[in-house]
A and B are shown apart, each in its own frame.
Chain A
Amino acid sequence: MAENFPMATNVKSFFTEIGSLSRFAGRFFKQLFSRPFEFREFLRQCYQMGNKSLLLVGITGFILGLVFTLQSRPTLEEFGASSWIPSMISISIVREIGPVIIALICAGRIGSSIGAELGSMKVTEQIDAMEVSGTNPFKFLVVTRILAATLMLPLLIIFGDFVALIGSALVENIKGQVSFLLYFNQVFDALGFRDLLPATGKSFFFGFAIGLVGCFKGYNSSKGTAGVGRAANSAVVYTSMLLFIIDFIAVFLTELIYG
């Protein structure tokens, strides 16, 4: 089969992958609500994902706001609409660019590190060692990480959005003589709940996807160091793709709800 119909095998393995991922997600939810909860490990993971990503997210967000504003200015100035920069930038950052860019950055940082960490733990039998030590490794490693990623991502995205707007305000302040007060006044004038709430809602799903795929790939990593590399790599690739799918669904639902 495999030699004659490589396409068929690919399709089959694709569905198998989706199936196992769904089972993995189901297992997460099942174990999430059963005792014991590894609270200390959860906090440790929150710290690892949240605080340790802060600098990266901050720098990325700041440059994002800076560059985005610099690039949009000339076109808007041509129309004499440079006073629209705060509202335009803030809406696109809060609604779309902020969450997606920061989620992608986190997929790179958090997703790959989960994939590599769990992958190497699997390969070096550390996961087995946990099991033998009377600790449920799925609870200890997977549940805590997915939950931490789900809760930390929205915070990182809010933080990133905020820093991006500061970057944008800085450009406007220097190039356009717009005070920070006026800038943020216009930002909050332009922003509505339909910008902020759906974006925050979907960022939970972004975090969940990053944690889930990272853990799935790492936990099911194949033997050997190559397997660990593959786990980390495919965690990032699959997560990035999944992020866009989630984003599409989120935008679709938002349109449906707010119309």
Chain B
Amino acid sequence: MKNSNPQNLKLGIFVILGIAIFVAAVYFIGNRQNLFGDSSVITSVFKDVNGLQRGNNVRFAGVNVGTVQNIRILNDTSIAVSMRIDDRTMKLVRKNSLATISSDGLVGSMIVNLLPGENDSLASKPLQPGDTIASISKIATADMLTTLSTTNENAALLTADLLKITNSINEGKGTIGVLIKDEEMANNFKQSIEGLRQSTSTISRMVNRVNVILDEVSYKESVAGVLLSDTIAARQIEGIISNLEISALQISDVTTNLQQFSYDIRQGEGALDYILNNPGAVEQLDATLKNIEEATRKFDENMEALQHNILLRGYFKKQARIKAREETQMD
């Protein structure tokens, strides 16, 4: 085996290179998980971790400073999340910090954010290994927005129902058809309007809750970071909320109109008489329903804007569009 020496040399180079790549990969991965270097464990208890997993990143002021080490369910409302934090960062994080779970982008994995807290008495002390820090949940807001949007959808459906009825009146389907359906129609009307009123009240309740959150945002600047990345967004949201309120009020007005209208029908001697006596009645009804539709649509748009703002912080590209919308709203 004369040529075995250069062969062994090449083999040796190959083997060492392969092992080196492997070791480098292990090192880099381990480095990300803070396995090497000094680190300490802190804990925070959440109500809901929203799909957080072991190994997810922990961020402090937007910098990755550690990873989630373990997630334990303590009981049905508290879940303990222990995090491994780089020791250099530990000195900078205060005892009063708050932990919050959020999503890293639209389809991103979950992350834990560490935020400066509001409890001043603890603000001067740095975090110690083994400490438990308080948590705040952002998930409630997301839930609320979902409910709002469902309510709005319901309102839209009801409007569509009402439109159908007016259309059939408009098309006249013959006076006989109206006469026959008279009683039934009145009932339908009543149900639809009742539903619409409920929706509207839900909407206003929701709007009130959003307002409460917004108040918190403006009063407690520290917590604002949870929901918003800066005050511009806060102002935007305030604008949107006021629009929402306007929309809700509009819907409410329209509903009152409708109620009046249906009351008229019932008081009159049936629809036929009513329509005969009031030639403008049908047109009036039509206009009312159009108003409802318009209000609902605006409500919808505002909802969407709000969701973008809260779920996706830093969604400022839409800023211009939102402003334009606000202006049309003012007109």
A binds B: yes
Which A positions have Cβ atoms within 8 angstroms of B?
40, 43-44, 46-47, 50-51, 54, 79-81, 84, 154-156, 158-159, 162, 188-189, 191-193, 196, 200
19 contacts between A and B (CB under 8 A): A43-B7, A43-B8, A44-B4, A46-B11, A47-B7, A50-B14, A51-B7, A80-B106, A156-B18, A158-B25, A159-B18, A162-B21, A188-B29, A188-B31, A191-B25, A192-B29, A192-B33, A196-B26, A196-B29
Task: Write out the residue numbers on chain B whose beta carbons fall within 8 Å of the beta carbon of A80.
Answer: 106
Min distance, Cβ A217 to any Cβ of chain B, angstroms: 26
A159 touches B17 (CB 8 A): yes
A158 touches B32 (CB 8 A): no
Task: Write out the residue numbers on chain A whose beta carbons fall within 8 Å of the beta carbon of B1.
Answer: 40, 44
B8 touches A47 (CB 8 A): yes
Asked if B22 lies at the interface with its beta carbon under 8 angstroms from chain A, I say yes
Assembled-state Cα–Cα distance A81/B109 (Å): 13
Assembled-state Cα–Cα distance A46/B283 (Å): 91
A43 touches B106 (CB 8 A): no
User: Given A40-B4, A159-B17, A188-B28, list of 5 further CB < 8 A pairs?
Assistant: A50-B15, A155-B14, A188-B29, A192-B29, A192-B33
A79 touches B107 (CB 8 A): yes
Q: How many A-B residue pairs have CB under 8 A?
A: 62
B21 touches A51 (CB 8 A): no
Asked if B179 lies at the interface with its beta carbon under 8 angstroms from chain A, I say no
B window 240-279: CB within 8 A of A: none
Assembled-state Cα–Cα distance A84/B33 (Å): 20
A196 touches B25 (CB 8 A): yes
Asked if B55 lies at the interface with its beta carbon under 8 angstroms from chain A, I say yes
B25 touches A50 (CB 8 A): no
Assembled-state Cα–Cα distance A84/B4 (Å): 46
Min distance, Cβ B225 to any Cβ of chain A, angstroms: 24
Min distance, Cβ B311 to any Cβ of chain A, angstroms: 15
Assembled-state Cα–Cα distance A84/B106 (Å): 11
